[in-house]
Amino acid sequence: MIQIRTAIEKDLEAMLEIYNDVIVNTTAVYDYEPHTLEMRRQWFRIKEAQGFPVFVAEENGRVAGFSSIGPFRAWAAYKYSVENSVYVAADQRGKGIGKKLIEPLIQAAEQLNMHTIIAGIDATNEASIMLHRSFGFVEVANFKQVGYKFGRWLDLTFMQLLLKTPEQPVEE
C-alpha cells in the first residue's frame, strides 16, 4: 500500500538516490552531475524556510517517489505562481505514484493561496505530460532546443494549471 506523507529529513538519502538516478539516466532533469546529500539537505531547508511542502510516497517503509512545489521565478509579481516537481524511483514507475504525489501539491498550492502551478517537462516525457494533463494542466509553451543532454538537443514543454484562488489577492 502506497502512503503519501510529508517528507522528513531522514527521507533525504532515499530522495537523493531517486533524484540522482533521474539526473544520470533520464532527461527529466537538465543536469549532468549527481547531487550530494548536503545539496539535498540545503534544498530541503530552503523549501521549509519558504513554507513549501515536500511529499514522499512510501511503500513498505521505502520511499518510492517525492514531489514538491517552489517559486516559479524570483521577482515579486510571481509570488502567486509555483513550479512543481515529481520524481518516482525507476522500478516504481507506472504504478500511479506520480498521480498520488501531484494531488497533495495541488491542495497545498491552493491552501497557500497560489494562483497557478507550472510544470517544466522534457517534451519527450509523454508519461509526465499525460500525468499532468489528467489533472487539468494544459500546454502553454514549447521551447525548442533549450537543453543539451545525452548528445542531443532537448525541447522543454511548459504546462500550467490555474487554481481556484481569489481573483484579486491583496498586494503587499
Between CA 23 and CA 32 the distance in angstroms is: 6
- Identify the three-state secondary structure at position 134: helix
31 dihedral zone (left: phi>0; alpha: psi -120 to 50; beta): beta
Q: What is the 3-state secondary structure (H, E, C) of 29-69?
A: CCCCCCCCHHHHHHHHHHHHHHCCCEEEEEECCEEEEEEEE
Query: H or E segment at 138?
Result: strand 138-149
Q: Structural domains in the chain?
A: 2-162 (3.40.630.30)
**Contact 57/101 with Cβ under 8 angstroms?**
yes
Q: Which residues pair with 66 in a beta bridge?
A: 56, 87
120-172 tens-digit pLDDT: 999 999 999 999 999 999 999 999 999 999 999 999 999 999 998 766 665 65
DSSP 76: G
Between CA 101 and CA 85 the distance in angstroms is: 10
4-51 tens-digit pLDDT: 999 999 999 999 999 999 999 999 999 999 999 999 999 999 999 999
79-92 tens-digit pLDDT: 999 999 999 999 99
- The candidate with the shortest Cα–Cα distance to 107, out of 172, 55, 45, 72, is 55
Strands 81-88 and 116-122: parallel
